[in-house]
Amino acid sequence: MLYGIFFVIGGLALAALDQLLKICATTYLLPVGQAPLIPGLIELQYVLNDGMAFSMLSGRRWLLIGVTSLVLLAVIVVLIARPMPRLDRITWMLILGGGLGNLIDRVRTGVVVDYLNFQFMEFPVFNFADICVCTGVGLLILSLLLDMRREHRSGSATSVHENHTDADA
């Protein structure tokens, strides 16, 4: 339990970092709109988003707040109450930190501040919280695939062992 609380605190720290970056983006980008970070690759661009990923559910502030709050509460319970490997804890911590960072924006102002724009491809402008959530979900998928692979391999090994045992009898 104490170990899980450590990762909840880590999620809170990620949310705090996200909020700090959004304050900087608002302070420095709002007056100018955009500025190059790595010319031709990444620019900083001030954008307000009232939806979630790719502006889905745009204008549904209270639905997004409610669903996000429930999901984050479940993540906190999982982190604290469930034993799991460190990689899984990091995964849930990233999802918690990113989700909380964007939730704070939605509750406070009704919109999420985005500021990272990849110029070399067509992709929505996003923020640090989005990176945390996407990385966490990516790691979660990877963890699930690895678990399935381990189960398949151990199931195959058990099956081969059972076949040899049956042949010996």
Q: What is the pTM of this model?
A: 0.85
pLDDT at 161 over 60: no
In Å, what is the CA distance from 164 to each residue of 6, 123, 151, 160? 47, 54, 20, 6
State the pLDDT at residue 168.
47
Find the catalytic residue in 105, 130, 147, 166: 130
Catalytic site residue 130? yes
- Give the pLDDT confidence of 52-69 residue by residue, as tens digits: 776 677 777 899 999 999
Catalytic site residue 147? no
Q: What is the mean pLDDT of the segment spanning 27-35?
A: 93
Residues in the chain: 169
Q: How many other C-beta atoms can be found within 10 angstroms of the C-beta atom of residue 136? A: 23
Sequence ranges of the domains in the chain? 2-162
Place 153 in a pLDDT band, splitting at 50, 70 and 90: confident
For the sheet containing 34-38, what is the strand order?
Answer: 34-38, 42-49, 112-118
Find the catalytic residue in 114, 147, 166, 168: 114
Q: Which positions ≥6 away from 134 have C-beta within 8 Å? A: 98
